[in-house]
Amino acid sequence: MKHIIKFRWLIAIAWIAVAVGLFITAPNLQDLVRDKGQIAVPEGSPSQEAQNLLESMSSDSSEDNASSVLVFHDEDGIDESEKEEIAAAADILKEKQDELAISDILAFNEDSLIEEQTVSEDGTTIMIPFQVSLEDQDVDEARENIYQAVEDIHVDHELTGEKFISQDIIKNSEEGLKRTEMITVGLILVILLVVFKSFVAPFVPLLTVGISYLAAQGIVSILADKVDFPLSSFTQIFMVVVMFGIGTDYCILLISRFKEEVANNDSIQDAVLATYKSGGRTIFFAGIVVLIGFSTIGLSTFSLYQSAVAVAVGVAVVLIALATLVPFSLLFWEKIVLAV
């Protein structure tokens, strides 16, 4: 700890440089989530084996093709005029299938067997299944093009399929991440203001955890890109909640302990050393327990649970930051911290 205090400026600059460097050079984590973060059931499960069987039986099982369904619905029941509109929609899709990069269109009005499978018994829903090629377009482009093709059809309709559902999950998780970050930081700031009764001291934990989060996010994205580290659309949300939660908690404990040690030591440096000799040890072992807990989640066979192992990386980075950045903060803002 004495060496950390001695080289505190160099360590602080190194932290900022590493965090900024990882933020700039590391692959975009949200892009990686789109490519590799789909939630899937474990290999060997009945549903996965059935899917593999269907793909092996398909004439075109390329990963660039997505099974899709255009669903038409009317709660009051689809009448004959609406059926004619839906039939017209199927004709439009067939006419523009090359333009839309779709194939294998099954129209309910072509065959009685198809009608049995695509028209609901209560007559409120009709489906038009087909395949969409994503070789030269992404999911959002395919969705937009298909909606534009049938924009003159007035029967309520929605496009669905595994790829479209996955894309919606990713979009919702990204929006949820932004809200989670804002709410988490806002609530923590309020709590810190109440605890420290200062407008400056609360930023010690927030800056410490914020820099840790940037660094951890960069590390996770590099691991995901290079060694297929488990990811999901919830990985960043897990990291934000846990890292800011335990990081702020541990910072509060350290700063509170530091204020007690100041009265029992002759210098600020001695107070910092005493703080870490007693409280620092407790916090370190508490953090190790959390780290081990999230690391073992990686042994799960379910991809969503596996993705939470990224939190272990975040916890490790937070522990390093608590041992290196917080002492710098305590020494640099000693008057502010002691004034609370």
Q: DSSP string of 283-308?
A: HHHHHHHHHHHHHHGGG-SSHHHHGG
Q: What is the pLDDT of residue 55?
A: 53
Q: What is the pLDDT of residue 216?
A: 93
CA-to-CA distance for 161 and 167, rounded, in angstroms? 10
Q: What is the dihedral of CA 169, 171, 177, 178, to 10 degrees?
A: -160
Stated pTM of the model? 0.72
Q: What is the pLDDT of residue 304?
A: 74
Instruction: Give me the sheet containing 102-103, strands edge to edge.
Output: 102-103, 125-133, 65-73, 157-161
Q: What is the pLDDT of residue 23?
A: 85
Q: Domains plus CATH for the chain? A: 2-42+166-338 (1.20.1640.10), 75-155 (no CATH)
Q: Residue 203: how many CB atoms within 10 A of its CB?
A: 17
CA-to-CA distance for 275 and 279, rounded, in angstroms? 6
Q: What is the pLDDT of residue 340?
A: 47
Q: Return the residue matching tokens 């072509």.
A: 110
Q: Which residues of the chain fall below pLDDT 50?
A: 47, 50, 54, 57-58, 61, 338-340
